[in-house]
Amino acid sequence: MAGTREILYSLPMATRLPTKSSIYNHFNRHLHQHNRLPRSNYLPCDSGKRLLVQPRKVVVVAATPIKAAAETAVQCQVKAVVTVKRGSMEYVKDMVFRWLDSDAHRAQTGVVLQLVSTQVDPNSENPKLSKEAKIYWSINPKTKGGNKISHEVEFVVDANFGVPGAIIVTNKYKKEFYLESIVAIEGLVHFACNSWVQPHGFHAHNRIFFSNKVYLPNDTPVGLKRLREKELQQLRGNSDDSRTTSDRIYDYDVYNDLGNPDKGDEFVRPILGNQSQPYPRRCRSKRPPTNSDVNVESPVSKYMPKYVPRDEAFGDLKAKAITEGKWKAMLRSLIPTLKQKAAINGEAIKSFSDITELYKESLPPFEEGGDECWEKGGLPKLRNKMIKECGQDVFKFDSPKLISRDIPSCCLRDDELGRLTLAGMNPLSIERLKVFPPVSNLDPSIYGPQDSALKEEQIICHLNGMSVQQAIEENKLFILDYHDVYLPFLDRINAHPTKKAYATRTIFVLTDMGSLKPIAIELSLPEKNRNGPPKCVVTPPVDATTCWLWQLGKAHVCSNDAGAHQLIHHWLRTHACLEPFIIAAHRQLSVMHPIYKLLHCHMRYTMDVNAQGRQLLLNAGGIIESHFFTAACSMEVSASVYQNWWRFDMESLPADLIRRGMAVPDATEPHGLKLLIEDYPYATDGLLIWSAIEQLVQAYVHYYYPEANIIESDSELNAWYHESINIGHADIRHASWWLKLSTPNNLISILTTIIWLASAHHAAVNFGMYPYGGHFPVRPPFMRRLVPNECDPDYTTFLADPEGYFLASLPCLDQMLHYISVLHILSTHSADEEYLGDRKDLSAWAGDPEIVEAFYKFSMEMKKIGKEIEKRNGDPNLRNRCGAGISPYELLLPSSGPGVTCRGVPNSVSI
């Protein structure tokens, strides 16, 4: 909506009320005089149509103070439509509404609303207010479709009231309600509320909602200044206050909620977020401490629920999708035929057929009709529906991409390992090899010699006549290097009774076809390892024995890679490191601030996802520790990477590619850099999206901040960035690489990076987890045995039955049933997902057509990118994404339907 800074309407002394046309003319005149809207004969309406209004010549007169009139001021009525949303599980009957709103109760119930002008009363110097208006749920509700209900309300204001800039809402009912929007004056004033309003008896603060007009802090109308400050103060809350699930308080805390010392020493975990264990901050939840350690927060329980600010919690569709996924996972584990095969006592898998029988041959459309089934009968209906639709396959898993076209294969082929490092679930670890042999940066006095066991003679035969140095200089050698990441933790990891791991290095050569081929794997253990040499190298097979050793080596590489994917590139770089920016945005940026409005859709659901992650995935004994080789060290591995490797200035896609040696700067290339592997699907598709985001942010920032001094004078913007670093990332706040918020270009870089991480980066590492990781023999999250050597007592067993040894090295079926069920849930799009390029809040910029045009261009660019990616996936020259049995790379296709689709880029870290 296009607001103004001047008077809405003024009347000569008369008894008649103003006509609609006079109000429209007045708004139209002041829109042209005081906003950036170009002159037009049309005004926007709530219906999306435009009203024709004739322009007229206006004489502008200097304003003079208004003295109080002796006679009664002329008043007029302002109509508004209030839209609320009822939860999908709420079926309150009309008779209950009638009882709540009966004459006996009406004085204590209702929703009270009061308009606030952008102007102040010259006598009291307080904002001008309308008379209070009330809504009763039982009186004339109008269904708008679905679960939305609208109510009409009339406000009485003085004729010189001015433009409504805010609205105060008081809920006198005993239950919260979701206020979606308030539209006044035939659509000219729009309040996009989208928030839960709590009962006044529980929360004494009245709710403040601002119109969709964008204001920098210094441009805030005088009537809204105090309310703008008051709203931010309420959101900051008090650090000492306890938290309830209905609160809207945003604050910071360390990761002191992962362990549970009350359950025993095996559940003790270090606190992350200090000088010894640096980590980003999380949202403060203020649960009481444990009995055993006052510095550790008690875990979530029935009596101490998870806390996120109320408006950050999942919506009904999102919550229902996750609940359905949990039920499906539980039901699968209960089926007797699978229970018998699942080796409940942890026995080894007997044959590859036990694994392939877990998966369906084809995927039935389970999602269809899910809503109706859920609403009418809950779990029994859901179970019966699954049985009827799918028959014997109901509890089997959908075929992941890795086996959908290659079901007989239960071991990872060399070409697939190379392809998946560029176009799989983790395309962010591969680096160009710069030095051979690779050298460790770990302290040799603690971790032993820094030299690698890799030798030139082990790989020279795969270099087509080149020397190793020549291959390095011609950018032909690449590496997955997990040596320094995992070696410090291996003693503790390998002390686990069923988890064994190495710190691996894998060398790849770039073939003439543009694909990567693994040519050597280094397996490292701590120097004092008693089970064999601390370092060994396996190479591509030359006979049956080395074939199985090579397969075991690749399985350990994939186990290392699965841990890096989940703990570093997924959790740390998107979920954890973005949360401080989100908390600071709510604490320091008003909803009227243009940067808040830009980032708002990119913060959706992230805090709830992270809270659930700490409760179920990352906690002591949780899913990550149970199903990944890093076990109890998992979050410490993540903290070590944050301290030694993570840098915000390297989180942009171009900077990340250059840092890993996958690209070099080149001004002649479309994106300013040249990829050293041309067929690198994550990078080529990602650069299209990165550039589109950057162009949008450039247009946005240059519109609101054409000069650097405007950034310097923006108190809210500077407070947001300062707090994000100095409190949200407090342990590394003194690092010299933080960008300075001093120029429009730096602001563009900061915002583009945040939006990229929340959208495309997260999509690339999240929605392929089940499609690429759901077939665990080719990508096991942990291994139960080390690679045998001739000194190993089990070497004879390996020689006698290498397939049995390989199967016994894999996790048992009962563990993997749970693991792939979780991957399936985490890879699922919900029905209410919002995708990159689709903005539902464009009314916020109705008075700024340049911004609306920029968003429209961005939306069109996303559609164009989608077509380009589909074109690439059909190009037979791009062998990493097209070919017989090759799954196309679709993770960065912008749009998707619900379910596990292996495509779609949501706006935010929403799962």
The rounded distance, in Å, linking the Cα atoms of 852 and 837 is 12
Which one, of 611, 477, 626, lies nearest residue 566 by Cα? 626
pLDDT at 367: 40
Strand order in the sheet with 148-158: 142-145, 148-158, 75-85, 177-184, 189-197
The rounded distance, in Å, linking the Cα atoms of 674 and 828 is 34
pLDDT at 317: 82
CA distances from 293 to 104, 111, 609 (A): 52, 45, 26
The rounded distance, in Å, linking the Cα atoms of 342 and 196 is 45
CA torsion sign for 242, 247, 252, 257 is positive
End-to-end Cα spacing for the chain: 32
Query: Do 348 and 797 contact (CB within 8 A), yes or no?
Result: no
CA angle 407, 412, 413 (to 5 degrees): 100
CA distances from 842 to 212, 604, 659, 839, 859 (A): 9, 16, 37, 6, 12
pLDDT at 489: 97
The CA-based dihedral angle spanning residues 354, 359, 361, 365, taken in that order and rounded to the nearest 10 degrees: 160
- Would you call 401 exposed, middle or buried from its count of C-beta atoms within 10 A (0-12, 13-18, 19+)? buried
The three-class DSSP label of residue 705 is coil
**Binned average pLDDT, 10 residues per bin, the chain of 911 residues:** 33 36 42 38 36 34 38 81 75 45 65 96 92 88 80 93 95 92 88 94 88 95 96 90 91 97 97 97 96 96 92 88 72 50 62 80 41 44 51 68 56 93 97 97 91 95 96 98 97 95 98 96 86 87 95 97 98 98 98 97 97 96 96 98 98 98 95 96 98 98 96 98 98 97 97 98 97 91 95 92 94 88 92 92 84 96 98 97 93 96 97 91
CA distances from 360 to 391, 452, 516 (A): 11, 44, 31
Q: Where are the alpha helices (DSSP H) in 713-848?
A: 715-726, 744-756, 762-766, 769-773, 795-800, 802-809, 813-826
Structure tokens at 358: 């877990």
The rounded distance, in Å, linking the Cα atoms of 708 and 718 is 12
CATH level 3 topology of 572-765+849-881: Lipoxygenase-1; domain 5 (1.20.245)
- For residue 422, the tally of other CB atoms under 10 A from its CB is 24
φ/ψ of 166, rounded to 5, equals: -155, 165
pLDDT at 105: 59
pLDDT at 98: 46
Q: How far is CA 585 from the centre of its chain?
A: 15
Phi-psi sector, 286: left (phi>0), alpha (psi -120 to 50), beta = left
pLDDT at 652: 98
pLDDT at 102: 54
Q: Kindly list the domain boundaries of the chain, sorted by start residue.
A: 75-87+107-236, 429-564, 572-765+849-881
- Residues with a catalytic annotation lie at 570, 575, 762, 766, 911
pLDDT at 863: 97
Q: What is the CA radius of gyration of the chain?
A: 30
Query: Do 4 and 34 contact (CB within 8 A), yes or no?
Result: yes
The rounded distance, in Å, linking the Cα atoms of 548 and 301 is 47
The CA-based dihedral angle spanning residues 458, 462, 467, 470, taken in that order and rounded to the nearest 10 degrees: -130
pLDDT at 499: 96
pLDDT at 34: 38
Q: Are strands 133-135 and 189-197 parallel, antiparallel or unpaired?
A: unpaired
pLDDT at 371: 41
Overall size of the chain counted in residues:
911
- Would you call 475 exposed, middle or buried from its count of C-beta atoms within 10 A (0-12, 13-18, 19+)? middle
pLDDT at 419: 96
Domain 75-87+107-236 has CATH 2.60.60.20: yes
CATH level 3 topology of 429-564: Nuclear Transport Factor 2; Chain: A, (3.10.450)
φ/ψ of 191, rounded to 5, equals: -115, 110
